[in-house]
């Protein structure tokens, strides 16, 4: 039973990981940001990226033109995936 939950959670984390990557790539194409797919990706990734932005703001790293929250989110998701399957 634990294996099924482990695989399901790992799959969900990987999907969010790839959606964040896609969102970061889409940020370079402003004309594509108004599509329904972009809106869906935004809605799925914002609950993960918003806390990362808050963490970076508290550390004083959230200011500037670049949003580093996807980098932090990808690092944290990678860490969670590794911990999920190697512990």
pLDDT of 23 higher than 70: yes
pLDDT of 44 higher than 80: yes
Identify the pLDDT of residue 71: 94
What's the rounded mean pLDDT across residues 54-62?
Answer: 86
Please tell me whether the overall predicted TM-score, pTM, comes out greater than 0.85 for this model.
yes
Count of the separate structural domains present in the chain: 1
What's the rounded mean pLDDT across residues 57-64?
Answer: 81
Identify the pLDDT of residue 34: 85
Task: Please report how many Cα atoms fall inside a 13 Å half-sphere around the Cα of residue 28, on the Cβ side.
Answer: 4
Host domain of residue 26: 2-86
The DSSP output letter for 87 is -
Identify the pLDDT of residue 87: 67
CA–CA separation, 32 and 53 (whole Å): 23
What's the rounded mean pLDDT across residues 35-60?
Answer: 92
Identify the pLDDT of residue 14: 96
Largest Cα separation within the chain, whole Å, is 46
Rg, the chain, Cα only: 14
* C-beta separation of 44 from 13 below 8 A: no
């Amino acid at each position: 039973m634990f294996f099924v939950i482990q695989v399901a959670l790992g799959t969900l984390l990987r999907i969010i990981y790839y959606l964040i990557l896609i969102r970061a790539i889409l940020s370079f194409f402003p004309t594509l940001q108004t599509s329904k797919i972009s809106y869906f990706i935004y809605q799925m990734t914002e609950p993960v990226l918003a806390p990362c932005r808050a963490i970076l703001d508290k550390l004083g790293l959230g200011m500037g033109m670049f949003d580093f929250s996807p980098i932090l989110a990808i690092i944290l998701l990678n860490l969670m995936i590794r911990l999920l399957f190697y512990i």
